Structure 1
Amino acid sequence: MLDLDKITSREKGAPVVITTYQTLANFAISLMDLQCAVAIFDEIQFVKNPVTMRAKAAKSLNADFRIGLTGTPIENATKDLWALMDQLFPGALGALAQFKRVFGLPTEENMSVLHHALFSGQRERPPLALRRLKTDAAPGCLRRYGYCIHAKCPSLRCCAMMKLAAKVG
């Protein structure tokens, strides 16, 4: 258990707590009692599985406002995106079963509907998500280039590299 009185009294009732997702899960019972003005989740894709302790701990944080940051909102399936949005705006994309029925198999039509739900404000609510490209955020950065260099290598090394490439996929 964490001593929340010690944390809040030292900061005059307005603590700043920076933690990892694992520590958040380990001390979830204590941290859920801490009233936060803002919870900022960096790399929020680490809580994309709603049944894990990490995701449950993150969702249990008592915060007035939540922000999630990620460069990879969908890693495996569209339900990853539902899980991230459910952390930040519970219920905004409906129940998971309904979401999977509508968006589980991506098509051009349903992805257009999902894009509109995320990036367009509805009624009195601003958009759920904002997207920023690296070129917009840091226009002076150099572009990344990839080069393929063909070279002969000994057959044993080549076989080992091909086996490794097949495993990695």
Structure 2
Amino acid sequence: MKRKGIALAGTAAVLITVAGLAVPAAAEEIGAATEAPKVQEAMGDTREITVTHMALKPSETFPLFRKFQCPSTFPYLEGKNYSGEIRVPSGVRVGMDSPSVHVNISLLETRGKYIDGDDNWRATGWRDALAEIASVTNWDPFFSHMLTITVSCTSDPAKGFGSNTWPEWHTGWKPWIIEPMS
């Protein structure tokens, strides 16, 4: 059973469980974001990277983090939907302790590179974005809530998110920024 906790005023520390991970959190950390992505262990041809782990204050909203690029050894966003109905690219896992937290990373902000040919590309991350198309909001007016965003990057282009897995209604669309193969 997953337990969920919320840091309350006057509490020295609490234990918060997000996406099945127990994380100690001090009350003074509320609203503080992780400075740099944390790279976790590689699992075969896939690597998990924690991009954001933070507490959102009541009614807080802001543009969603800086640009993100998968590392050169695992350059492609994995082509799996880890976040259900949440509007984020494939390969992005959103963990939150409340349904009152809303996250959006528009597919229009995706970065990518061609694999072979003009219509065969894979997403590699996303660029800095405007608040309207990449944002996070805590709609709860009374309590802070935890948010963790983890990205799954792969070294296998066949498992990458791109023209091979793109929804049919987006046929012909290409990422905002296409980088040459290195």
Do both proteins adopt the same fold according to a TM-score greater than 0.5, normalized to the shorter chain?
A: no
Please state which structure has a larger fraction of its residues in strand.
2
Higher CA-based Rg: 1
Scaled by the length of structure 1, the TM-score of the pair is 0.31
